[in-house]
Amino acid sequence: MNLREHVPLAPYTTIGLGGAARYFVDCSTEDDLREALTLARQWKLAVQIIGGGSNVIFPDAGFPGLVARVGLGGFTIREDRDTAEVIAGAGVEWDALVEETVRRGLSGVECLSGIPGLVGGTPIQNVGAYGQEVADTVVGVSCMVRDTLERVTLDPASCGFGYRASRFKREDRDRFVVLGVTFRLHRAVPTLRYAELANAVAKTTDLTRLSPPEAVRLVRETVLSLRRRKAMVIDAGDPNTRSVGSFFLNPVLPAAAFAELERRWKAAGGSGAIPTFPAPGGVKVPAAWLVEQAGFRKGHRANGVGISSRHALALVNLGGTTTQLLALAEAIEGAVLQKFGIRLEREPVVVSSALS
């Protein structure tokens, strides 16, 4: 185990913010991780696990404990006639895995193309986009229990998957470290459930006329095109991609709450229908719409941070600080709450600088 001290954390995140870690270790094996967690316990250090750094924000003061980056690599794909089992280490780059499954003509994660980060983060967030989420294909998540250092495998029902959430993010946050994930994919023409994607594909061809390999390739290419248009594919030359992706979750409102939103919208002089998507237990309202209608438009700037000029949910680092970024987030949250009575929920992990 290569333990380092006073390691700047900004380069390990897609948003490029944060001070230094008191201790930092790369864990490329389970033994590395077990040793790191044992050392942290002996030294009474707080531990922060990271992967690709695409969904984490560190404070300007850094982290006074141990940051462990999990990089268990390697994947295998076992195919039969109509299905395939994909077993991937937590440290495998997510989009590289998606690209390989699409190359093999397998369907199930093609709509998740272009999402930054590593495989280990996907079940934690229940990563989703364009009508797909990893909960649709996960069959097992291998983890290390932090307290006991034992290895366990959880089936999908035990993962507590929900909209951009799981037990790893909610009630069992910081209890497990994901070591690897097993997915089951299919050799089939994808069914598109997201209107924007379906319309974009329809402009090219009738998906049902294509073979499964042709169809999944087309869907991946279309998703990547849509994401690039919104600056949601990491590009070192585009400051709009210096972010953690969508900063706020789309709120799901039950009927009474949506009626109250409509009342407030009309009282404020709003015209036209509020955009919605069907969701279990109510309707999903685009957080981007709420943010813009509350007065925070694409391209907004405040000190060294701002809102992407191409996506209202992406808060971007324009040479600023974490303090400035969180101040902007709080201003947006306050404006949406005041105008619409809705509390926006943050999607990224915002790490505290204080030891608990």
| Active-site residue, 221 included | no
Q: At 1, is the pLDDT very low, low, confident or very high (cuts 50, 70, 90)?
A: confident
Domains of the chain in start order, with CATH, are: 3-70 (3.30.43.10), 75-229 (3.30.465.10), 239-350 (3.90.78.10)
Q: Is pLDDT at 316 greater than 70 in this prediction?
A: yes
Q: Rounded mean pLDDT of the chain?
A: 96
The pLDDT value recorded for residue 14 is: 96
pLDDT in tens, 167-206: 999 999 999 999 999 999 999 999 999 999 999 999 999 9
Q: Is pLDDT at 310 greater than 70 in this prediction?
A: yes
* Token couple for 78: 């076992």
| Active-site residue, 28 included | no
Catalytic-role residue among 22, 104, 164, 217? 164
CA-to-CA separations, 226 to 104, 140, 197, 199, 338, in angstroms, rounded: 22, 30, 8, 11, 32
The pLDDT value recorded for residue 236 is: 85
* Token couple for 111: 């709509």
Q: Is pLDDT at 354 greater than 80 in this prediction?
A: no
The pLDDT value recorded for residue 356 is: 40
Indicate yes or no: pTM above 0.75: yes
How is the chain split among helix, strand and coil, in percent rounded to 5?
30, 25, 40
pLDDT in tens, 212-229: 999 999 999 999 999 999
Antiparallel, parallel or unpaired: β 252-253 and 138-145: unpaired
Mind giving me the DSSP string for 246-313? --BPPPEE-HHHHHHHHHHHHHTT--SPPP-EEETTEEE--HHHHHHHTT--TT-EETTEEE-SS-TT
Catalytic-role residue among 113, 142, 246, 308? 246
| Active-site residue, 164 included | yes
Mean pLDDT of 316-343: 98
* Token couple for 305: 């941070």
pLDDT in tens, 240-272: 999 999 999 999 999 999 999 999 999 999 989
